[in-house]
């Protein structure tokens, strides 16, 4: 397999040689460095690399080139090398053009000339770009392979688990893959889905916990006692882990599915501070996990907390495998899950055409199809913008009268400007029909109550949210919907009658001393990634005060 290619493009030979020199010095050992003196020459090189199946990791292009400027060139590379990272090299006067290119999703980043010293002004940006590219790179050989039916709910569950845990895998569909049929034709047919591991080991219709054990995910508690145990690996939980670990607390994080939580399924987060071209939820989760592990945080997945017991200053969490975690402090950051679609047949077809969240593992299967989405929030809008690059058409079904009520304006504007996204307001799904998979939807109009049937193979639902707090069994005070009450939301006469301390609960502390909550599971929280990160990080300062008291 070829080394990943880094392509530098500039019509100024001296500048091109300088760029190539810096790239070769930093990345030449593991990458192939290729040069081109024009956009047209570069396109021909990329076409040849594409025919050979050679991976292209990054394209660095100057903006001011005769015949075809950098923005136009990078825009055209999107079809040939859709996964390559695209960086524009500009003069200071061209920054407006660079920002416009980022807004149109043609450029991931821009750098101004000169970039000396490269150790400060070039390499940190490119390191970040290449790390992102490697996280999504699927070499197509070796590693984990999943054999199954693309309409199988079990197969979808396994593929989604691997993808969300950043485990590269290859999917072999029994309907279309000759390799899959050849594997199944050898001896007694195995139970599907079949997971093929490096070293030729096979797992037939495995549970995700069994897969986790075989691929090296941590599933076992390693210490007898921790300062801080975090339940839930969404943005809030990961922020608490990073700040707890960096400030010297022995910290463990327990996540039932995959780090990133609901935000981890987001196809693109564009308003998160410091990322002008946006980043996917998977990218954010990967970065945060690496950061937490760097500070010694132990991350267990897939494990779920099933019980919390308080014994004075000590807390004891029981996990789904029967093991226990003892600690001084607990952060409840379980987040929320999408509400089930209240439509006939939706539950039966879940994972077989009906999906909750973006389910980006299905993106490659929707080519040439019309995709339906239900919801009016940012998650639905981001998913629509993601799938419009794969599907022929995306239809966004909104029960209310407009998108503006729940969706950020930047997303509303982009959806309105996208030709292959159609918004149907005043519409709800009342039935999902099909035998082995989704085949048809019944849509009801809020205007006249009429019901229309439409052919459909893919429906993605983004409806409301329900907190994962039932396992707490009333130990901490919650509102009538199950969201956790903290700080000033706790009524002294109702929720704090058994509060044992002279001080009042800290901000983000629950009705149980030393037990905190953050993110979407908390009552009246702001449903934004940045706010969850802020809550998770701020809470650590209060935890230090509690430990000092102990």
Phi and psi dihedrals of 438, rounded to 5? -65, 135
Q: Looking at residue 180, which CATH number applies to its domain?
A: 3.40.30.10
For residues 425 and 495, state if they share a domain: no
φ, ψ (nearest 5 deg) of residue 291: -65, -45
Contact 387, 458 (CB under 8 A): no
Q: What band does 93 get if pLDDT is binned at 50, 70 and 90? A: low
**Does 472 score more than 70 pLDDT?**
yes
Question: Which CATH number do you get for residue 399?
Answer: 3.50.50.60
Instruction: Answer yes or no: is pLDDT of 104 > 70.
Output: no
430 with 400, same domain: the answer is yes
Across the chain, what does the average pLDDT equal?
91
Residue 207 structural domain: 144-215
Say yes or no: 23 and 132 in one domain: yes
Q: Is 150 contained in some domain?
A: yes
Taking 60 as the threshold, does the pLDDT of residue 142 lie above it?
Answer: no
214, burial (CB in 10 Å: exposed 0-12, middle 13-18, buried 19+): middle
d(CA 197, CA 5): 28
51/101 same-domain check: yes
284-304: average pLDDT = 93
**What would the mean pLDDT of 323-332 be, rounded to a whole number?**
97
> Are residues 535 and 507 part of one domain?
yes
pLDDT at 139: 60
pLDDT at 338 over 50: yes
CB count within 10 Å of CB 543 equals: 25
The fraction of the chain above a pLDDT of 70, given in percent, is 97
Would you state the pLDDT for residue 493? 94
In a domain, 153, yes or no: yes
Are 485 and 536 part of one and the same domain? yes
The answer to whether residues 424 and 281 belong to one domain is: no
Q: Are residues 17 and 132 in the same domain?
A: yes
Q: What is the per-residue burial (b if ≥16 Cβ within 10 Å, else e) of 462-500?
A: bbebebbbeebeebbbbeeeebbbbbebbeeeebeeeee
pLDDT for 283:
86
- Boundary-marking domain end, from 461, 494, 509: 461
User: What burial letters (b/e) apply to 262-292, b meaning 16+ CB within 10 Å?
Assistant: bbbbbbbbbebeeebbbbbbbbbbbbbbebb
Residues 89 and 109 both lie in one domain: yes
Under DSSP, the state recorded for 93 is G
- Count of structural domains, the chain: 4
DSSP 378-394: HHHHHHHHHHTTTBSEE
* CATH number of the domain encompassing residue 27: 3.40.50.2300
Sign, Cα dihedral of 113, 114, 117, 118: positive
What is the Rg, in whole angstroms, of the alpha carbon atoms belonging to the chain? 25
The whole-number pLDDT of residue 141 equals 46
- Is residue 517 within 8 A of residue 331, CB to CB? The reply is yes
Considering 398, 432, 461, which residue would you say is the last residue of a domain? 461
Query: Are the C-beta atoms of 354 and 341 separated by less than 8 Å?
Result: yes
Same domain, 128 and 69: yes
Query: Looking at residue 449, what is its pLDDT?
Result: 94
User: Residue 255: inside a domain, yes or no?
Assistant: yes
The 3-state DSSP class for residue 227 equals strand
Q: For residues 256 and 303, is the Cβ–Cβ distance under 8 A?
A: yes
Q: Whole-angstrom Cα distance, residue 213 to residue 201?
A: 13
Cβ atoms within 10 Å of 197's Cβ, excluding its own: 14
* Token pair recorded at residue 426: 């005043």
Same domain, 306 and 416: no
Mean pLDDT lowest for which of 211-220, 415-424, 494-503?
211-220
The 10s digit of each residue's pLDDT in 407-448 is 989 899 999 999 999 999 999 999 999 999 999 999 999 989
Specify the residue for token string 């990791």.
Answer: 57
Contact criterion met (CB below 8 Å) for 293 and 166: no
Per-residue confidence (pLDDT) for residue 140, from 0 to 100: 52
Q: Which of 81-90, 182-191, 235-244, 358-367 has the highest mean pLDDT?
A: 235-244
- Residue 343 maps to a domain: no
Range with the poorest average pLDDT among 89-98, 149-158, 216-225: 89-98
Distance CA 134, CA 46 (A): 19
Could you write out the DSSP letters of every residue in 411-461? HHHHHHT-TTEEEEESEEEEEEE-SSS--EEEEEETTT--EEEEE-SEEEE
- Average pLDDT on 264-272 reads 82
CA atoms within 13 A on the CB side of 438: 32
Q: What is the C-alpha separation between 241 and 292, in angstroms, rounded? A: 6
Lowest mean pLDDT among 49-53, 249-253, 466-470, 483-487: 49-53
Does 347 map to a domain? no
Mean pLDDT, residues 353-360: 89
Q: Kind and range of the H or E element at 462? A: none
204 with 191: CB under 8 angstroms? Answer: yes
- Is the distance from CB of 404 to CB of 433 less than 8 angstroms? no
Query: Is the same domain home to 269 and 128?
Result: no
Rounded CA-CA distance 123/116 in Å is 10
Domain-embedded: residue 221? no
Task: With respect to residue 342, please indicate whether it lies within any of the assigned structural domains.
Answer: no
Final residue of a structural domain among 153, 187, 215: 215
Helix and strand totals (H; E) in the chain:
14, 26
Mean local confidence (pLDDT), 394-417: 92
Report how far residue 210's alpha carbon sits from residue 144's, in angstroms, rounded to the nearest whole number: 14
Indicate the pairing of strand 194-196 with strand 169-173.
unpaired
Question: For residue 349, what is the DSSP state?
Answer: T
71: in domain = yes
Q: What is the dihedral of CA 521, 525, 526, 529, to 10 degrees?
A: -40
**pLDDT band for position 96 (cuts 50, 70, 90):** confident
Average pLDDT of the residues in 327-355: 95
**3-state DSSP call for residue 309?**
strand
Tokens 């080991």 -> residue: 201
């Amino acid at each position: 397999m070829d080394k990943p290619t880094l392509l530098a493009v500039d019509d100024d030979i001296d500048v091109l040689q300088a760029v190539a020199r810096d790239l070769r010095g930093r990345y030449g050992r593991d990458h192939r460095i290729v040069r081109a003196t024009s956009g047209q020459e570069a396109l021909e090189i990329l076409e040849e690399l594409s025919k050979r199946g050679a991976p292209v990791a990054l394209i660095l292009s100057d903006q001011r080139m005769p015949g075809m400027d950098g923005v136009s060139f990078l825009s055209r590379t999107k079809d040939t090398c859709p996964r390559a990272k695209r960086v524009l090299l500009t003069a200071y006067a061209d920054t407006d053009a660079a920002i416009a290119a980022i807004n149109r999703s043609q450029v991931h980043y821009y750098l101004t000339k000169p970039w000396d010293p490269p150790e400060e002004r070039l390499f940190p940006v490119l390191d970040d770009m290449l790390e992102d590219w490697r996280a999504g790179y699927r070499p197509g050989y070796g590693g984990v392979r999943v054999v199954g039916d693309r309409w199988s709910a079990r197969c979808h569950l396994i593929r989604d688990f691997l993808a969300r845990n950043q485990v590269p895998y290859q999917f072999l569909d029994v309907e279309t893959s000759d390799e899959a049929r050849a594997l199944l034709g050898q001896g007694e047919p195995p139970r599907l889905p079949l997971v093929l591991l490096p070293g030729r080991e096979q797992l037939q219709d495995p549970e995700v916990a069994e897969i986790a054990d075989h691929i090296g995910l941590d599933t076992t508690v390693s210490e007898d006692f921790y300062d801080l145990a975090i339940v839930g690996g969404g943005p809030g939980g990961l922020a608490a882990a990073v700040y707890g670990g960096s400030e010297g607390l022995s910290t463990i994080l327990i996540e039932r599915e995959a780090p990133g939580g609901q935000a981890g399924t987001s196809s693109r987060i564009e308003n998160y501070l410091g990322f002008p071209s946006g980043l996917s939820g998977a990218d954010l989760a990967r970065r945060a996990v690496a950061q937490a592990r760097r500070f010694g945080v132990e991350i267990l997945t897939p494990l779920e907390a099933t019980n919390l017991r308080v014994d004075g200053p000590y807390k004891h969490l029981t996990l789904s495998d029967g093991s226990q975690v003892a600690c001084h402090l607990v952060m409840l950051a379980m987040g929320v899950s999408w509400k089930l679609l209240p439509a006939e047949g939706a539950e039966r077809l879940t994972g077989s055409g009906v999906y909750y969240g973006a389910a980006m593992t299905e993106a490659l299967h929707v080519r040439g199809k019309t995709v339906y989405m239900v919801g009016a929030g940012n998650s639905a809008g981001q998913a629509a913008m993601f799938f419009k690059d794969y599907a022929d058409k995306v239809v966004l079904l909104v029960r209310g009268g407009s998108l503006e009520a729940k969706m950020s304006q930047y997303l509303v504007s982009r959806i309105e400007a996208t030709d292959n996204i159609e918004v149907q307001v005043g519409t709800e799904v009342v039935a999902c029909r099909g035998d082995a998979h989704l085949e048809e939807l019944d849509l009801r109009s809020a205007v006249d109550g009429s019901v229309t049937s439409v052919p459909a193979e893919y429906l993605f639902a983004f409806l409301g949210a329900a907190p994962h707090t039932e396992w707490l069994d009333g130990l901490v005070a919650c509102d009538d919907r199950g969201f956790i009450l903290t700080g000033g939301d706790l009524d002294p006469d109702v929720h704090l009658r058994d509060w044992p301390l002279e001080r009042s609960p800290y901000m983000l502390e629950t009705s149980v001393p030393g037990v905190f909550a953050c993110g979407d599971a908390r009552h009246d929280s702001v449903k934004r990634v940045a706010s969850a990160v802020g809550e998770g990080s701020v809470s650590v300062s209060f935890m230090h005060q509690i430990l000092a008291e102990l």
